[in-house]
Structure 1
Amino acid sequence: MTKFSDLNLNSKVLKAIEEAGYETPTPIQAGAIPPALEGRDVLGIAQTGTGKTASFTLPMITMLARGRARARMPRSLVLCPTRELAAQVAENFDTYTKHLKLTKALLIGGVSFKEQDKLIDKGVDVLIATPGRLLDHHERGKLILTDVKIMVVDEADRMLDMGFIPDIERIFGLTPFTRQTLFFSATMAPEIERITNTFLSNPERVEVARQASASETIEQAVVMFKGSRKDREATEKRKVLRMLIDAEGEKCTNAIIFCNRKTDVDIVAKSLSKYGYDAAPIHGDLDQSQRTKTLDKFRSGELRFLCASDVAARGLDVPSVSHVFNFDVPSHAEDYIHRIGRTGRAGREGKTIMICTSRDEKNFEDVERLLQKAIPRLDNPLKTLAPVAKSPAPKPASDAPVEKAPRSRSRSKKPETTPVVDTVQAAAPLEASKAPEQPTEQKTDTRAKSSSRNRSSSSAKQAPKQSDRNNDRGGNKVLGLGDHTPTFIELSFADRYNS
């Protein structure tokens, strides 16, 4: 069996490896380190969690042990797709260079340009950066890449997914043609293969596992879920997630929960916290300091559940992750490999469970096609509750006519009173034009007669129509009352005209 001591690494590097507790290299490390030390280009293809980071950090440190960097001219360059992965690579360099005097700089977003400029001005042996921030420094005239001797592209397929390929090609053009290139990826898309053919010179291809394969130590499962109603699907889906977590019990020491959208990451994290689960979100819209703090808490065991977008799917090394829950089926099948690769790392056992809705079935088929095998199905924890959800209790109450009854009775009065009111008022406008103006004294007698007649007529309580009312008044206008003339006053005039 090959050991690190057999790989011709620097003695001080070997000492750091031994202090870190490593003795035997992984297959990708054993295959990539020897040709890298010979100065050859390397194309490494291996599933995530197999130790690709050490495959390029160890030979780089050994080759950079001699020499010194000049101001603004780094000697080596490592490109990473995300801030978290870049920070992780920087930690690896700190671990393996503890006995060597090598300098490094980390160029990522969310950090002050001023602090990064100070490090670059002093000269760094190793420059670890994300493509966007690297080009920002170069365009500001703070960085020169003509002295780069070793260039590493880590997680190249993730670079492709995030749209960094044009930036990668531009950065390749800024580095010397004689550089050594180490190219690592978990999958090999056609676009990635085109880049390797263009920028790598006769590379040593190291492929230790079938492309896009999952570790055999990871137990996979899927729940085929369908909500009782469309407007309840999201709520019921979160309940399924909680039931799956509870079903794992003490086996689920910690877990990463992946969502496709950043908004869902926040919603799921808030929902879990509401029900007493120790959870926090991490995605690209959060401040870098908050992302770092959340990740550190998860690594140290203070945080049990990390709700993440795909920003945390690639390259993050948290050795003790027991479970991965895919709240959503990833849009790209390759992302499934990277997500579940957060568990079962370095030969450990892990478990991953995915929730698949009816609209995700096409993406799910792509995942199984990529894996070349079927993922075992689990019973839906909510299936026993489905009949109750389909016929909710409030529905009969909404159909009952109890609440609508008062409204229907009020309407039924109008047809009964309207004919009588119309009959009484029909004669009034005809007589109004003919009747002469009566003396004031006679109005008292008229009111007395009309009041006795009103007691026997139940239909006369209805107000006259607007048009009848206007004709009825004619020249005898009642000022100050308008359309709200009391019924007993208007009826008194009607009786006067009929008399």
Structure 2
Amino acid sequence: MLDIQYLYLVEGKLMAKFEDLLSNSDLLKYIQDQGFSAPTPVQQKGIPLLLKRESLSLLGKTGTGKTLSYALPLVECLKEDESNNVQVQVGSPRALVILPTKELTSQVFQVFKGISHFAKLRVRQLLGGEKGQKSKELSSSSIDILVTGPGRLVQMVEKKELNLLDVKYLILDEADTLLDMGFFKDIQKMWGFCEWDGCSVGLISATMPNDFDRFKEEVFKKVDFKELEVGGHAIKQEIETFNIDLGQKEKNKMLELFIDKQANGSGMIFCNRKETTTEVYEYLKKSYPSKRFFVLNGEMEAKERNASMKKFRDKGGIMVCTDIAARGIDIPSLNWVLNYDLPFEAVFYIHRSGRVGRGGRKGSVYNFVTSRDLNLIARINKSIKEQSLLKLTTINTKMQRDLTKKKATRASAAKVPVKKVTKKRPQVGRKNSPRYKKSK
């Protein structure tokens, strides 16, 4: 029997099965092979709009199935175009999927590769830092879907190694992160290389930055976006939160205790600085030579980062990383997340926590909380309350309670009028001094 949370009205019709949304038999075989029982609400609402070639601005919480909400209709549209004998030029992709990091690019590429095993499309990946041979191969290939980042793509188009005149579908996944990471100008250039007429644009996002509307108006001036926000009926994430009060210098010792007593299965340790990830990684490798540890940060070469993430996915273990791994990364076997450092921005706490508890699975989040973190806690708790789909416990540490109690005591005392009393200072001489001892 279908879970009631998946029953949703789309244009007046009850949509409860993928067969109600998609008509391509190859896609339905893929869905059956993957064992997906029913579409999530974000898929039920997003797929019909994208199938109509509408431009869409989709806001959906983490872990709600946003990747398939655009991947499935994109493939069906491309297969329809193919049946209508749409001509494809070499070095000119028909669809672009743009992502902010190499790790997300590789993850989404694998999703499309899995679909193309059934639907037979030419899916290619382009990563920053790749050698010239890869560029030459793309330049001479027919490409249906190109999964890439904006910076590397713009470089190749400016060098005339690729052209974007045949692009009919443009997806910006994690669009909020693309803006956060400063890709505004690259996206603006990229869109300038596309033929605007007849190109469908999808902006997929988990959060809505303050300047998101301005971004849409400045970059996609002539695009009429359908606004879609999927809220309370999405898959809930079951996440338990545990807060550990400690001093800044106690972190490594507490980390050892955590690994010994609590860290069951695979997990991720988040640090704020690249240098910290290296220090923690080396410390753990030395302390636990028989365990598997991996490291991931922005200073690593693309090849190293890909290898580290692949080994972590395949073998499991513990990944020490920065916020580069906080968004979109899906590791089904992940059991826990440890915030060795609480993030500077509250929204990253939500994204870090969202690595566990995905797809209805349970997960745990552990926080190292020092006295320096007290100013962050209020902002993080506010973010947690606004993310109604996440069953996260707010951070309520003993230090915070003590601080709140002290503030209340001070506030209460300030309201009580105190009579000022002036006391004379006692004369302290040799005889009345406590140090004075009377001689015999």
Tell me if 1:324 matches 2:337: yes
Once the two structures are superposed, residues 357-397 of structure 1 have per-residue CA deviations (whole angstroms, 9 ceiling, x without a partner) of 222322232111222386244679xxxxxxxxxxxxxxxxx
Tell me if 1:112 matches 2:142: no
Question: Which one has a larger percent helix, Structure 1 or Structure 2?
Answer: 1
Alignment of 1:427-446 (within 5 A): none
What TM-score, normalized by structure 1, do the two folds share? 0.70
**Superposed displacement of residue 247, structure 1:** 3.5
**Superposed displacement of residue 8, structure 1:** 2.4
Instruction: Report the 3-state secondary structure (helix = DSSP H, G, I; strand = E; otherwise coil) of the residue aligned with 2:295.
Output: strand
Tell me if 1:221 matches 2:242: yes
Q: Which residue of 1 aligns with 2:354?
A: 341
Q: Which residue of 1 aligns with 2:435?
A: none
**Superposed displacement of residue 45, structure 1:** 1.1
Q: Which residue of 1 aligns with 2:273?
A: 261
**Superposed displacement of residue 216, structure 1:** 4.0
Q: Which residue of 2 aligns with 1:30?
A: 44
Q: Which residue of 2 aligns with 1:21?
A: 35
Q: Which residue of 1 aligns with 2:253?
A: 239
Instruction: Report the 3-state secondary structure (helix = DSSP H, G, I; strand = E; otherwise coil) of the residue aligned with 2:268.
Output: strand
Alignment equivalent of 1:201, drawn from 223, 234, 238: 223
Q: In the aligned structure 2, how far is the partner of 1:327 from the partner of 1:270?
A: 15
- Cα RMSD over matched residues? 2.1
Q: In the aligned structure 1, how far is the partner of 2:385 from the partner of 2:37?
A: 34
Tell me if 1:184 matches 2:204: yes
Q: Which residue of 2 aligns with 1:480?
A: none
Tell me if 1:364 matches 2:377: yes
Q: Which residue of 1 aligns with 2:427?
A: none
**Superposed displacement of residue 201, structure 1:** 3.2
Q: In the aligned structure 1, how far is the partner of 2:398 from the partner of 2:113?
A: 46
Matched-pair identity in %: 34
Q: Which residue of 2 aligns with 1:50?
A: 64
Task: Note the residue ranges of structure 2 that are not aligned, 5 or more in a row.
Answer: 1-6, 8-15, 387-392, 400-440
Contact 1:313 1:342 in 2 (8 A): yes
Partner AA of 1:138 in structure 2: V
Contact 1:221 1:378 in 2 (8 A): no
Q: In the aligned structure 2, how far is the partner of 1:285 from the partner of 1:376?
A: 31
Check 1:106–1:367 CA distance in 2 against 1; reply closer, same or farther (3 A cut). Answer: same
Task: Note the residue ranges of structure 1 that are not aligned, 5 or more in a row.
Answer: 228-232, 381-499
Once the two structures are superposed, residues 311-334 of structure 1 have per-residue CA deviations (whole angstroms, 9 ceiling, x without a partner) of 111111111210011111111111
Runs of 4+ deviating beyond 6 Å: none
Once the two structures are superposed, residues 93-114 of structure 1 have per-residue CA deviations (whole angstroms, 9 ceiling, x without a partner) of 1111112331122111132132
Contact 1:103 1:126 in 2 (8 A): yes
Alignment of 1:80-159 (within 5 A): 80-159=99-178
Q: In the aligned structure 2, how far is the partner of 1:47 from the partner of 1:12?
A: 28
**Superposed displacement of residue 35, structure 1:** 0.6
Contact 1:356 1:364 in 2 (8 A): no
Q: Which residue of 1 aligns with 2:328?
A: 315
What TM-score, normalized by structure 2, do the two folds share? 0.79
Contact 2:235 2:359 in 1 (8 A): no
Partner AA of 1:202 in structure 2: D
Check 1:215–1:196 CA distance in 2 against 1; reply closer, same or farther (3 A cut). Answer: farther
Once the two structures are superposed, residues 162-198 of structure 1 have per-residue CA deviations (whole angstroms, 9 ceiling, x without a partner) of 1112211222222222210111111000122222345
Contact 1:42 1:203 in 2 (8 A): yes
Q: In the aligned structure 2, how far is the partner of 1:154 from the partner of 1:106?
A: 15
Check 1:203–1:61 CA distance in 2 against 1; reply closer, same or farther (3 A cut). Answer: same
Contact 1:105 1:116 in 2 (8 A): no
Question: Which one has a larger percent strand, Structure 1 or Structure 2?
Answer: 2
Q: In the aligned structure 2, how far is the partner of 1:165 from the partner of 1:195?
A: 8
Once the two structures are superposed, residues 381-434 of structure 1 have per-residue CA deviations (whole angstroms, 9 ceiling, x without a partner) of xxxxxxxxxxxxxxxxxxxxxxxxxxxxxxxxxxxxxxxxxxxxxxxxxxxxxx
**Superposed displacement of residue 281, structure 1:** 0.7
Check 1:9–1:355 CA distance in 2 against 1; reply closer, same or farther (3 A cut). Answer: farther
Alignment of 1:282-293 (within 5 A): 282-293=296-307
Instruction: Report the 3-state secondary structure (helix = DSSP H, G, I; strand = E; otherwise coil) of the residue aligned with 2:258.
Output: helix
Q: In the aligned structure 2, how far is the partner of 1:9 from the partner of 1:354?
A: 46
Q: In the aligned structure 1, how far is the partner of 2:37 from the partner of 2:138?
A: 33
